Amino acid sequence: MYDIRLTDVSFSYGDNPVLRGLSMAVAAGEFLAVVGPNGAGKSTMLKLVAGLLRPDCGEVTVAGRTVDEARAAGDIGYVPQNFARNIADFPATVAEIVSLGLVSGRKKKLSREAARHIVDHMLAMVDLKDMRNRRVDELSGGQQQRVMVARALAGNPSLLLLDEPTSGVDYDTSTKIYGLLGQLNQSLGITVVAVSHDIEKVTRWAGRVACINKGLCFLGDCAEFRRVHAQEPHLLYYSS
């Protein structure tokens, strides 16, 4: 069963064609790393799956449904690029930011106790329980990123989309963040799609790698990706 299926998807910003005829599928429970050069269309692809953009042509489905249906059901958690940096000046506590994620997909309003319980559970998952009442602008960049992951998880998604979740964080913190994503994927079965420039770290946890440059240039397991990267790197930059 596929969680995400893109079929012959094309997208342009005005007269700038960014994706052309992109077709690919991500299996339920998979951890997919999405790599590629700057401006290749990786974030655009993620936004199409998150339902923030609509393809000019082609189709995107999530768990057999339209993206709008999957979004309405709360199936999709999305952590945009630089999100942590953008909320860093927002005068809110960690728990308040995470609780913003509770609205997604829930038809019934949660009681205060239930909401608190879920927020605490999410903060425990990302190892930030002791920070619940701290202002988010007092946290490090890596801690802020983990708050954003907790916020996305609070909607109980089956699919987590992350756009460069470790940009601007140090080596050890990015190792921890990818470890966290790997554990969420392996222990909870959440499908993870992470756009990343940190190929070495993301491929420690990802099962497969997609290389995008306007179209799909490569899709395969990490061992194959490393082999092609070492021996025939040009193959990673040209889609057929």
Asked if residue 214 lies in contact with residue 53, where contact means CB atoms within 8 angstroms, the answer is: no
41 with 16: CB under 8 angstroms? no
Interface with ligand ATP, residue 44, by CB under 6 A: yes
CB neighbour class for 204 (10 Å; exposed up to 12, middle 13-18, buried from 19): middle
When binding is defined by CB under 6 A, the residue of 4, 6, 31, 43 that contacts ligand ATP is 43
Distance CA 96, CA 93 (A): 5
- The answer to the question of residue 39 lying near ligand ATP (CB under 6 A) is yes
32 is a site residue for ligand ATP (CB under 6 A):
no
* Under 8 Å between Cβ of 34 and 195: yes
Residue of 86, 197, 83 lying closest to 145 (CA atoms): 83
Q: Is 38 in the site for ligand ATP (CB under 6 A)?
A: yes
Nearer to ligand ATP, 38 or 187 (CB): 38
214 binds ligand ATP (CB under 6 A): no
Distance of closest approach, residue 18 Cβ to ligand ATP, in angstroms: 4
**Beta carbon nearer to ligand ATP, 43 or 143:** 43
Min CB(14)–ligand ATP separation in Å? 7
Q: Which span (33-41, 92-100, 137-145, 216-224) binds ligand ATP, by CB under 6 A?
A: 33-41
Q: Which stretch binds ligand ATP (CB under 6 A): 42-50, 110-118, 136-144, 168-176?
A: 42-50
Phi, psi values for residue 213, rounded to 5°: -145, 85
Determine the Cα angle at 210 with ends 62 and 49, to 5°. Answer: 25
Residues lying near ligand ATP in the complex (CB under 6 A) = 13, 16, 18, 36, 38-44
